[in-house]
Amino acid sequence: MDIKIYLLVSVIKILLVIFILLTGVAYTTLLERKLVARIQNRWGPTRVGPFGLLQPLADGIKFILKEDMVPDNVHKVLYIMAPMLALAMSLISIAVIPFGPSITVAGHTTALQITGVAHPDGSLSDINIGLLIILGATSIGVYGVALAGWSSNSKYSLLGALRASAQMISYELALGLSLVGVLLLSSTLSLRGIVDAQAQPPWFGWLPHWYIFPQFFAFFVYLMAAYAETNRIPFDLPEAETELVAGYHTEYSAMKFAMFFMAEYMNMITVACLATLLFFGGWHGPVPQNAPAIVQSLLPVFWFAVKVFFFMFLYIWIRGTLPRFRYDQLMAFGWKFLLPLAIANIVITSLIVAWRA
């Protein structure tokens, strides 16, 4: 297709996705506060707007208007660079995630994915190592945390950063290995391909053909590792208030802190999307055949959003429920439980696949 149109469409898609995403992040925070409050038998924010619905806006304004202070003796360049890096990486990983099949706007068809292309013949092509790109982005994301902690030249930050990087490195292994099972079943690295591989007729006629059922252990490992990757409770040691004030972003305030904050929540969303794509059949769901085209193309996105929302809910729910690990427990859990479990899962899966082939 014409390169200009392609660029234009891409830009539009990028802007759209970023807008939706930032909004999503904002309202995820609200959701979290509300839900945690309910879990703790409180009300949560109610003042700003109806049911406090405008609370995120207020927070945003506060972040922006706050004085952007840089402490003395911090390593300036890195200190400023770190949050940007974190945010950028979390944004990059969104780029390869497909939200749905394709949509036709003004007689022009495109894939519901930033890096996806719709060919004139209706077929959709996807970057064929999407999953690896997400992993790469997350692994680069570690730098954000590490550099933040190191550059801000404070022992809490440094300890937090050390913890964070150690924890992320350790859990990346389990994360990556837990995905291998799915890859073995779908035999592709393209996210779209994986989703399509789950679009088969359901098992036993009623059980949807989602990989969570054959790959339950992989799913479990993935979930745990993902929580650790995003430094969420029960693995939020890098920012354990009770021990390290606020961990690696102790010295950060205002917009820089907000960037970390957004990065964290975007990572949560990414993880949720990935879980949806890999284990829950992506956007597949009941779509009426005789519905208008627009519905046909947006309903999948709705299903996708529903599944992602479920995972976000799970995040918050767990945060409200579980206590925090001790650090050695965390490491032991990662290395001595999740990793072996993932490996065992890989072995068994590959054996089954080989046997079936």
* Among the listed residues 207, 185, 203, the one whose alpha carbon sits nearest the alpha carbon of residue 194: 185
CA distance 248 to 239: 7
Return the number of the residue (28 or 90) whose C-beta is nearest another protein: 90
Reduce the DSSP state of residue 336 to 3 states and report it. helix
> Tokens 């430094």 correspond to what residue?
231
Radius of gyration of the chain (CA): 21
CA distance 116 to 101: 10
Return the number of the residue (22 or 162) whose C-beta is nearest another protein: 162
Considering the complex, what minimum distance in angstroms separates the CB of residue 147 from another protein?
8
> Which token pair is 184?
């073995």
Considering the complex, what minimum distance in angstroms separates the CB of residue 115 from another protein?
12
Return the number of the residue (27 or 335) whose C-beta is nearest another protein: 335
Residues that bind another protein (CB under 8 A): 78, 128-129, 132-133, 135-136, 138-140, 142-143, 146-147, 149-150, 158, 161-162, 165-166, 169, 172, 176, 189
Reduce the DSSP state of residue 122 to 3 states and report it. coil
Return the number of the residue (149 or 234) whose C-beta is nearest another protein: 149
Q: How far is CA 38 from the centre of its chain?
A: 24
Return the number of the residue (148 or 266) whose C-beta is nearest another protein: 148
Considering the complex, what minimum distance in angstroms separates the CB of residue 18 from another protein?
22
Considering the complex, what minimum distance in angstroms separates the CB of residue 96 from another protein?
11
Considering the complex, what minimum distance in angstroms separates the CB of residue 6 from another protein?
13
CA distance 2 to 190: 24
CA distance 211 to 165: 30
Return the number of the residue (249 or 307) whose C-beta is nearest another protein: 249
Return the number of the residue (150 or 280) whose C-beta is nearest another protein: 150
The residue count of the chain comes to 357
Q: How far is CA 84 from the centre of its chain?
A: 17
Reduce the DSSP state of residue 351 to 3 states and report it. helix
Residue type for position 321: T
Return the number of the residue (176 or 320) whose C-beta is nearest another protein: 176
Bridge partners (DSSP) of residue 102 are 111
CA distance 246 to 237: 9
* CB of 270 closer than 8 Å to CB of 230: no
Bridge partners (DSSP) of residue 118 are 124
Considering the complex, what minimum distance in angstroms separates the CB of residue 135 from another protein?
5
Reduce the DSSP state of residue 207 to 3 states and report it. strand
Considering the complex, what minimum distance in angstroms separates the CB of residue 335 from another protein?
11
Considering the complex, what minimum distance in angstroms separates the CB of residue 240 from another protein?
18
